[in-house]
Amino acid sequence: MTSLRAEVFADVVMPPEDLGQVKCLDRMLHRMNSVTLRGVDDEEMPLPPEVYEVLLEVVTAMSKGQAVSVAPRSQRLTTSEAADFLGISRPTLVKLLEGGDIPFEQPSRHRRVLLSDLVAFKQRRRDARRATLAEMTRSAAEQGLYDSSESPDEVAVALKKARSEVARSADK
């Protein structure tokens, strides 16, 4: 019999050893666009779309055997945690902090970074990459090297969908 309480270490939830049930749940959630919860007294409540998206991300990560952590945006992270969140090395993060790209606090010897500032930095980087892609596409089209009626946003959506389909087929 499985425990109803997941194994939790320092705000990180480890996936179950047997991923079968989580993988089935992941496939089911990807086929749905909304979820309704039913309470013990048969009261039903639809999940808000934002909560559904968080649930989907958590289940998808766990189905891949990854640990998850859900934190409020006001959470303060160490430089190691911040670097892990961004997928970069700690020295690279420190350069970004010292260069003023990401705000930080240093109440004592150690720097602390707000999760919300990291999320904003990631969004700025994403926006900059998209703008660069749009400019490169426009320039290539002007030179006759690229012919597409799709906007960079449409291409990005198509790429995301293709990556999801490849990931799902790899899990089967």
The distance between the two most distant Cα atoms of the chain, rounded to a whole number of Å, is 66
**What's residue 172's pLDDT?**
58
**What's residue 113's pLDDT?**
94
Q: What is the pLDDT of residues 2-41, one digit of tens each?
A: 333 343 334 677 888 889 999 999 999 989 888 898 988 9
CB 121 within 8 Å of CB 85: no
**What's residue 121's pLDDT?**
95
d(CA 22, CA 61): 10
Q: What is the DSSP string of 48-68?
A: PHHHHHHHHHHHHHHHTT--B
**What's residue 24's pLDDT?**
92
Tokens 């997928």 correspond to 87
pTM of whole model > 0.75?
A: no
**What's residue 105's pLDDT?**
93
Q: What is the pLDDT of residues 131-168, one digit of tens each?
A: 888 888 778 777 776 666 666 677 677 777 777 777 77
Q: Three-state SS string across 77-129, please? A: ECHHHHHHHHCCCHHHHHHHHHCCCCCCECCCCCCEEEHHHHHHHHHHHHHHH
**What's residue 108's pLDDT?**
87
**What's residue 170's pLDDT?**
65
